[in-house]
Amino acid sequence: MDATSSGTNTERELIREFTYDEGRVDGLVVAISEAVADVTDTPMEELPPLQATLDCDAVETLFASLDPGHDVAHVQFPYHGCTVRVDTTGTIQVYYTDDRLTPESSRC
């Protein structure tokens, strides 16, 4: 996973964007945890379990079922004081605060 850009220190701003490689042996869940650990400067073993926030199996199954050349989808959720957005193009974005989660932004 590589950090490809960084943002500013204001609310609702992108902190950092990571590129997820589908060929990773340890999976999407670990990549998400690594991204949040990196951004929050928290060791991964000290993060709360991602499964407590997100149905990780469902997300991995959903992403695996989509045609990468044609289907684009994303999942957005709060985790460890950040908002995380993961999409099927291999991008993990971490934003400041959970303020980014609104009915308008999440399309709920």
Rounded percentage of the chain residues whose pLDDT exceeds 70: 75
Q: Where are the domains of the chain?
A: 2-103
* Residue 2, φ and ψ in degrees, nearest 5: -120, 140
Task: Give the residue carrying structure tokens 């950090």.
Answer: 3
* Residue 49, φ and ψ in degrees, nearest 5: -60, 130
Is the pLDDT assigned to residue 39 strictly greater than 80? yes
Beta strands in 1-108 (DSSP E): 2-6, 14-19, 74-79, 82-87, 91-96
Mean local confidence (pLDDT), 33-45: 93
**Global pTM exceeds 0.85:** no
How many residues would you count in the chain?
A: 108
Which of the residue ranges 1-5, 13-17, 53-57, 61-65 would you say has the lowest mean pLDDT?
Answer: 1-5
Mean local confidence (pLDDT), 16-35: 84
User: What is the C-alpha separation between 49 and 16, in angstroms, rounded?
Assistant: 21
